[in-house]
Structure 1
Amino acid sequence: MIRHLVLFKLNEGVAKDEPRVLAGVAAFEGLGKQIDELREWQCGWNLTVRDIAYDYAINSLVDDAEALQAYLTHPAHQAGVALWREFATWVIADIEV
């Protein structure tokens, strides 16, 4: 199994209640039901308000590298990424569990 973690940081001056951000959140919230390879799907805003904190997180689980690749290339995932690319940066970690 592979745990896929993503932490998003909104770009300077971007507020989480902007329409484009809300559209990005909505796109990611629906992925768990759209992509069969996802065994677990969680996403949401970080509750911690600190300078070093990221703003939004995704925590997901897939069976293997093939399933991870299917998720990453899925059209719904790619559409969400295209939205987030407009207003945020992110870091990822994929760990074997």
Structure 2
Amino acid sequence: MIRHLVLFKLNEGVERDDPRVVAGDRAFRELEGQVPELEFWECAWNITDRPIAYDYAINSAVADEDALKRYIEHPAHQAAAGQWREFATWVIADYPF
């Protein structure tokens, strides 16, 4: 199994209630049923407010590196991630578990 973690930081001046952000959150929440490679999926807003904290997180798992590649290339994932490019930056970690 491969764990796929993504932490998002909203760009300066962008708030969670921005319509683009609301739509981006919805798009990620809907991925669970759209991408067959996902063995596990959760996403949520960070509940802490610390200077080093990111705003939003995705915690997911796929079977192997081939499944990770298919997930990343899946049109629904590409569409959801594309929305976030407009208002956030992110970091990613993929590791076996």
Instruction: Give % identity.
Output: 65
Cα RMSD (Å) of the superposition?
Answer: 0.4
What's the TM-score once normalised by structure 2's chain length? Answer: 0.99
**Equivalent-residue separation in structure 1 for 2:24 and 2:47 (angstroms):** 18
How many residue pairs end up in the alignment? 97
Q: CA deviation at 1:36?
A: 0.5
Q: Distance in 2 between matches of 1:46 and 1:8?
A: 10
Runs of 4 or more, structure 1, over 2 Å off, are none
The residue type equivalent to 1:24 in the other structure is G
| Matching residue of 2:44 | 44
Show the counterpart of 2:8.
8
Distance 2:24 2:48 in 1: 20
Distance 1:48 1:76 in 2: 29
1:43-79 residue CA offsets vs partner (Å, 9 max, x unmatched):
0000111010000000000000000001000000000
Residue segments in structure 1 that go unaligned for 5+ positions in a row: none
AA matched with 1:69: K
Residue 64 of structure 1 corresponds to 64
User: Separation in 2 of the partners of 1:95 and 1:64?
Assistant: 10
